[in-house]
Chains A and B, each alone.
Chain A
C-alpha cells in the first residue's frame, strides 16, 4: 500500500494551513498576473491587439490616438491605412486604430473601453459603432452569449459583469471560475505555451487558430473578412443566415434596458474625460435595411433623439454609404468594398473630428442631425 505519513498535530495543522493558503492564494494571484502581464494568454483577441496597439503607440509616442470600437462590422470594414487624411500642420499625426471585436454591443463596448483605459490607452478621439440588433440583447447577438464565447472575462470585468448579467448564472459562473481557478480554466492555453506535447493535436490546432485570428492584418488593426462568400450558393446561405438571425430582431425591436444603461454609462465616462466621441451606424445592404419596419424606424429614431438630448454626441448615419455588391452577407463588407468606405469615413468623419470641424449635416442621423450640426 502507498505509504503516507503521520505528523504531530501541530505540524499537521500548519501543513493544512499552508496548503490551503498556497492553493487559495495562487489562483487569484495567477489571475491577476495574467490580467496584468500576459493578457494574450487568457484573451488572445484582446491581448494581441492591445500589444499591437501599444507597439504602434511606442513607435510614435507623441501621437494622439483615434480609436474605433465596435463589432465584427468594424473589425472587417474599417481599414485606417486606406484613409486619406490631411493632418494638421506642425502637429503630431494621430494614430487611427480599429479595435473592433466580434459581436461587441454596448455592454462589451463599455467593458473593452474600461479595459483599455485600465491598460493605459488614452484615446483623444473615439468612434463607437451602434447597431440596433445588438440593443435587443436577444437571439444570436445577445451579449451574454458573446461574452462567454468571444471574450475571456478578466478579473477586473467581474463587477461590470455582475451588474449587467446578474440574472445570467452561466456568465457569472464562468467569470468566477475563470477568475478564481485560472489554472483549470486556461489549462489548454498554459499547456500549449509550456508543454505542447501533452495536448491533443486538435486542441493545439484550435489554440493556434485562435492566435492567428487575433493578429491584425495591418498596422491599423484591420482584419480581412475570413468567410467572404464567393458563389451564388454561399451568397444565398449568407442571406438566409441574416434573415434567420437579424430580421426577427429588427422586425420587433425592443431596446434592452441593460444595453441602454451600458451605452449611457459609456457616454458618461466619455463626458468625464477629455475625449471627443461620435457614434456611428455602419453601412448595411439594402435587404437588411428593408427588414426595419416603420415601428422599428420609430423606435431607433426616438431612442437616438432621447440619447442625443441627454448627451450631446454626434451620431453618424453611414447605413447607405456602400452598395449591395460590396457586401458579403447581411452585415459584413467584402474586402473590395473596404478601401472606398474607409476613405470616405476618413474624409467625412475622422478628419472633421481630428480637426475639430463640424460634420456635414447630410451624414448625421436624420432627425437628430440638424440640431447636432448647428451645435457642432
Chain B
C-alpha cells in the first residue's frame, strides 16, 4: 500500500475517523498498532509477524539490560540484541550479496561456482526499523533512556506505519514520550498535516515519477542517447531521488501529525547546500545523524588527528552506502561520498590560508558557485548509485563526456524537464524565504481549500502511467 495510492487514502481516512472517535488513549495506541500491522501485512503477513517477534525480543532484552547490575551481563544482552537485529538484516538483505560476491571471486580465480543464491524476500524497510531498534538498545545500554515497560508502546514505536517502511529513522527518546502524552484533536495540526501530505504527494507523483521518464531509459541504455539526454537524465534522477524520498517523508510527517505525533524532519533543502559536508547535514538527516552518533563518533570521530578522521569518514560513509543496498555500486557511492567529504575538509583547511579566495567563495556569487558545484558533484556521484552495475555507470560517464549527435534525443520532450526544474527552483526559493506565508494567511479559507484541491488534482493529473514504488522502499 503506497502513500500515494487511492487505497491508502481510503485506509487512512477510515483510520483517522475511528482513531479520533475513540475516547481512550490506550485504545488509540492499539488501534495504531493494528493499523500498522495491517499496513505492513499488505506486503507480506509473515514478515509482519517476524517483525513483531523481533520487536518482542528487543523489548525483553532492553528490560534485561536495565535490570542487570553487572556490566558484563548488560554487554552480553546488548550484543545478543545487536547480533539478532544485524543478523536478520544481513540474512535478508546481504546474504545473497556476499554469496554472489564470493562466488564471482572464486570464478575469477579459476574455480567453479560454489554458491547458490537464497530465495529470500527482502522485507520492506528492514534497514529503517533495524536502525531504530539498534538506537533504542544502545541508548538503553548507555543509560540515555529508560527501557520501555509497556510492550504496546514499544511495538508502536517500531511499527508506527508512517515511518515504518522508509523512515525517517525515529529515535526512541523522541517518540516514546509522545505515545504516553494524551492526544487531543487539533484542527491546526490537521491543517499542518494536510499541507505536508499534499506537498509530499505532489513531489512524488508530479515530480519524482515524472522525472523517472527522463532518467530510466537513459540510465538503462546510456550509449543509445545523445550527450544532452544523458546530462538531463542525470539531473532528472537527482530530482527524482530527492522528491521521491523527501515526498515520502513529507507524507509520513503529515500523516503522523494528523494522528497527533511529530516525526523529525529528514531533509532541509539539500540541493541548496554550499558544500558536501553541509549537504549531508541536510540530506536524509535521520540517517546522517544516526551514522554520526552510532558509528562515526564511537570510532573516534574527528578527535584523533586527520588520518584517523579520514579513516572514520571512509568507514562511516562506506557503511552508509552499503546500508542503501546490497550491491557494490552502493558501496562505491558511499566511498565516493567519503572522498568528497575528505577533499572538502582538506580544501576548507587550505582556504583558511587564502583569505582572498575564502572571501570570494563566501560572497553571494561565490555561494551560488559553491551550491552549483556541490550539486553537480553529488549528481555525478549519483550515477554510481543509480546504475545497475559499474559497467553501466561507466557507460553513463562516457556518454556525458562524449558527443553522439546521431543518437536518440531525450525520451520525453525536454519542456517537461525544464518546467519541473522551474517548479522545483521556485519551490525551494519560496520555501526558503517564506514570503508566500503572509499572503497565504490572508487568503480566505475557501480560496486556500480550493488551491489545496488544485494541488491535489495536479498531482493526480501529472502522475505518469504505471505507479512506481518509492525508491527507498528497497532499502
**Chain A residues within 8 Å of B, Cβ to Cβ:** 1-23, 26, 177, 181, 183-184, 187-188, 190-191, 196-201, 203
Given A9-B186, A26-B457, A203-B465; A4-B449 close (CB under 8 Å): no
Are A18 and B450 neighbours in the complex by a CB distance under 8 Å? Answer: yes
List 17 A-B residue pairs with CB atoms under 8 Å apart, sorted by A's residue number.
A1-B268, A2-B269, A7-B191, A8-B188, A16-B187, A17-B445, A18-B450, A22-B449, A22-B452, A22-B453, A26-B457, A187-B462, A187-B465, A198-B413, A200-B464, A201-B412, A203-B465
Are B195 and A184 neighbours in the complex by a CB distance under 8 Å? Answer: no
Measured between beta carbons, the chain B residues less than 8 angstroms from A199 are: 412
Stretch at the interface among B128-136, B354-362, B433-441: B433-441
In chain B, residues 186-212, which have Cβ atoms closer than 8 Å to a Cβ of chain A? 186-188, 190-192, 194-196, 199, 210
Instruction: Judge whether B306 is part of the interface by a CB distance below 8 angstroms.
Output: no
Instruction: Judge whether B415 is part of the interface by a CB distance below 8 angstroms.
Output: yes
Measured between beta carbons, the chain B residues less than 8 angstroms from A13 are: 187, 190
Closest to A199 in B: B412
B198 to chain A, nearest CB (A): 8
- Point out the residue from A2, A8, A190 that lies within 8 Å of B431, measured CB to CB: A2
Are A190 and B269 neighbours in the complex by a CB distance under 8 Å? Answer: no
Measured between beta carbons, the chain A residues less than 8 angstroms from B186 are: 9
Measured between beta carbons, the chain B residues less than 8 angstroms from A4 are: 192, 195-196, 199
Given A181-B460, A187-B462, A197-B413; A17-B449 close (CB under 8 Å): yes
Measured between beta carbons, the chain B residues less than 8 angstroms from A201 are: 411-412
Are B460 and A183 neighbours in the complex by a CB distance under 8 Å? Answer: yes
Instruction: Judge whether B456 is part of the interface by a CB distance below 8 angstroms.
Output: yes
Instruction: Judge whether B120 is part of the interface by a CB distance below 8 angstroms.
Output: no
Closest to A198 in B: B416
Are B190 and A7 neighbours in the complex by a CB distance under 8 Å? Answer: no
A208 to chain B, nearest CB (A): 15
Measured between beta carbons, the chain A residues less than 8 angstroms from B450 are: 18-19, 22
Measured between beta carbons, the chain A residues less than 8 angstroms from B453 are: 18-19, 22-23, 26
Chain B contact residue count (CB 8 A cutoff): 46
Compute how far the CA of A20 lies from the CA of B9 in the bound complex, rounded to whole angstroms.
12
Are B449 and A19 neighbours in the complex by a CB distance under 8 Å? Answer: yes
Measured between beta carbons, the chain A residues less than 8 angstroms from B412 are: 198-201
Compute how far the CA of A32 lies from the CA of B89 in the bound complex, rounded to whole angstroms.
51
Instruction: Judge whether B297 is part of the interface by a CB distance below 8 angstroms.
Output: no
Closest to B452 in A: A19
Measured between beta carbons, the chain A residues less than 8 angstroms from B440 are: 5
- Point out the residue from A15, A23, A181, A203 that lies within 8 Å of B6, measured CB to CB: A181
Measured between beta carbons, the chain A residues less than 8 angstroms from B190 are: 12-13, 16
Given A2-B199, A3-B434; A198-B188 close (CB under 8 Å): no
Instruction: Judge whether B278 is part of the interface by a CB distance below 8 angstroms.
Output: no
Measured between beta carbons, the chain B residues less than 8 angstroms from A6 are: 188, 191-192
Closest to B448 in A: A15
- Point out the residue from B188, B454, B456 that lies within 8 Å of A7, measured CB to CB: B188
Compute how far the CA of A2 lies from the CA of B187 in the bound complex, rounded to whole angstroms.
21
Closest to B268 in A: A1
A178 to chain B, nearest CB (A): 12
Instruction: Judge whether B446 is part of the interface by a CB distance below 8 angstroms.
Output: yes
Compute how far the CA of A1 lies from the CA of B427 in the bound complex, rounded to whole angstroms.
11
A54 to chain B, nearest CB (A): 29
Please provide the 6 A-B residue pairs with the shortest distance between their CB atoms, ordered closest to farther.
A18-B449, A22-B453, A14-B445, A12-B191, A2-B431, A12-B187
**Chain B residues within 8 Å of A, Cβ to Cβ:** 6, 186-188, 190-192, 194-196, 199, 210, 213, 265, 267-269, 411-413, 415-416, 419, 427, 431-432, 434, 437, 440-441, 445-446, 448-450, 452-454, 456-457, 460-465
Are A183 and B448 neighbours in the complex by a CB distance under 8 Å? Answer: no
A177 to chain B, nearest CB (A): 7
Measured between beta carbons, the chain A residues less than 8 angstroms from B454 are: 22
Are B192 and A191 neighbours in the complex by a CB distance under 8 Å? Answer: no
- Point out the residue from B411, B413, B431, B449 that lies within 8 Å of A21, measured CB to CB: B449
Compute how far the CA of A201 lies from the CA of B416 in the bound complex, rounded to whole angstroms.
13
- Point out the residue from B415, B432, B452 that lies within 8 Å of A15, measured CB to CB: B452
Measured between beta carbons, the chain A residues less than 8 angstroms from B265 are: 1
Are A3 and B431 neighbours in the complex by a CB distance under 8 Å? Answer: yes
Measured between beta carbons, the chain A residues less than 8 angstroms from B187 are: 9-10, 12-13, 16
A133 to chain B, nearest CB (A): 32
Closest to B213 in A: A200
A236 to chain B, nearest CB (A): 36
A180 to chain B, nearest CB (A): 9
Compute how far the CA of A1 lies from the CA of B434 in the bound complex, rounded to whole angstroms.
10
Closest to B265 in A: A1
Which of A16, A21, A203 gathers the greatest number of chain B CB atoms within 10 Å?
A16
Measured between beta carbons, the chain A residues less than 8 angstroms from B465 are: 187-188, 203
B456 to chain A, nearest CB (A): 5
Measured between beta carbons, the chain A residues less than 8 angstroms from B434 are: 3
Measured between beta carbons, the chain A residues less than 8 angstroms from B456 are: 19, 23
Measured between beta carbons, the chain A residues less than 8 angstroms from B188 are: 6-9, 12
- Point out the residue from A1, A18, A188, A200 that lies within 8 Å of B445, measured CB to CB: A18
Which of B267, B412, B432 gathers the greatest number of chain A CB atoms within 10 Å?
B412
Measured between beta carbons, the chain B residues less than 8 angstroms from A183 are: 457, 460-461
Compute how far the CA of A201 lies from the CA of B265 in the bound complex, rounded to whole angstroms.
38
- 16 more contacts with CB within 8 A, not counting A3-B434, A19-B449, A187-B463, are A5-B440, A6-B191, A6-B192, A9-B186, A16-B191, A16-B194, A19-B453, A22-B453, A22-B454, A23-B453, A23-B456, A23-B457, A181-B6, A184-B460, A198-B415, A198-B462
Closest to B433 in A: A3
Which of B190, B213, B453 gathers the greatest number of chain A CB atoms within 10 Å?
B453
Are A191 and B461 neighbours in the complex by a CB distance under 8 Å? Answer: yes
Measured between beta carbons, the chain B residues less than 8 angstroms from A1 are: 265, 267-269, 431
A241 to chain B, nearest CB (A): 28
Compute how far the CA of A23 lies from the CA of B457 in the bound complex, rounded to whole angstroms.
7
Compute how far the CA of A11 lies from the CA of B194 in the bound complex, rounded to whole angstroms.
13
Closest to A188 in B: B465
Which of B269, B432, B448, B454 gathers the greatest number of chain A CB atoms within 10 Å?
B448
Compute how far the CA of A201 lies from the CA of B464 in the bound complex, rounded to whole angstroms.
13
A11 to chain B, nearest CB (A): 6
Are B196 and A197 neighbours in the complex by a CB distance under 8 Å? Answer: no
B11 to chain A, nearest CB (A): 15
A14 to chain B, nearest CB (A): 3
Compute how far the CA of A191 lies from the CA of B416 in the bound complex, rounded to whole angstroms.
12
Are A5 and B213 neighbours in the complex by a CB distance under 8 Å? Answer: no
Which of B187, B190, B446 gathers the greatest number of chain A CB atoms within 10 Å?
B187
Given A3-B431, A3-B434; A18-B460 close (CB under 8 Å): no
